[in-house]
């Protein structure tokens, strides 16, 4: 007794020109690497971390530390400024990055208070008369 399949079987056709870069095979062959080490006493140079634009590859821990720093800096902003960004640190960072035209102009979270010292749009407050903080 045979069972009928309710779904169509799919297959991938790998015929044609290969996209494998065979000229790199010695660089990744563990036997070649070990032979090189025994012969010279040194391992081949390691690949450096890739960079994308001005952002470098980070570890998970470094990324989470960055997120915590941004959240902490955002929490230190006055309530009106946080509300102007929808109480979302991501929107706040996006607005800082949108204002910057080069990577050097992106403000570090510690220095962000200088950038965000102006009142949010539609506010009647002036920088000469800042609101008092309630602690």
Per residue in 31-87, pLDDT tens? 999 998 999 998 888 776 666 666 667 888 998 998 999 999 999 999 999 999 999
Domain boundaries, the chain: 59-115
Length of the chain counted residue by residue: 135
pLDDT-based confidence at 133, cuts 50/70/90? low
pTM flag (> 0.85): no
E strands, the chain, are: 51-52, 55-56
What confidence score (pLDDT) does residue 43 get?
84
How many other CB atoms are found less than 10 A from the CB of residue 85? 19
Q: What is the mean pLDDT of residues 97-113?
A: 61
């Amino acid at each position: 007794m045979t069972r009928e399949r309710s779904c169509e079987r799919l297959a991938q056709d790998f015929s044609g020109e290969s996209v494998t870069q065979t000229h790199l095979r010695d660089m990744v062959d563990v036997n070649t690497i070990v032979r090189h080490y025994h012969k010279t006493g040194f391992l081949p140079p390691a690949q450096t971390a890739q960079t994308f634009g001005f952002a470098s590859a980070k570890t998970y821990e470094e990324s989470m530390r960055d997120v915590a720093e941004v959240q902490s800096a955002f929490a230190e902003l006055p309530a009106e400024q946080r509300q102007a960004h929808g109480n979302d640190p991501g929107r706040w960072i996006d607005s800082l990055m949108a204002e910057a035209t080069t990577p050097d102009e992106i403000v570090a979270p510690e220095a962000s208070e200088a950038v965000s010292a102006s009142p949010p749009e539609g506010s009647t407050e002036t920088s000469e008369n800042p609101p008092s903080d309630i602690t």
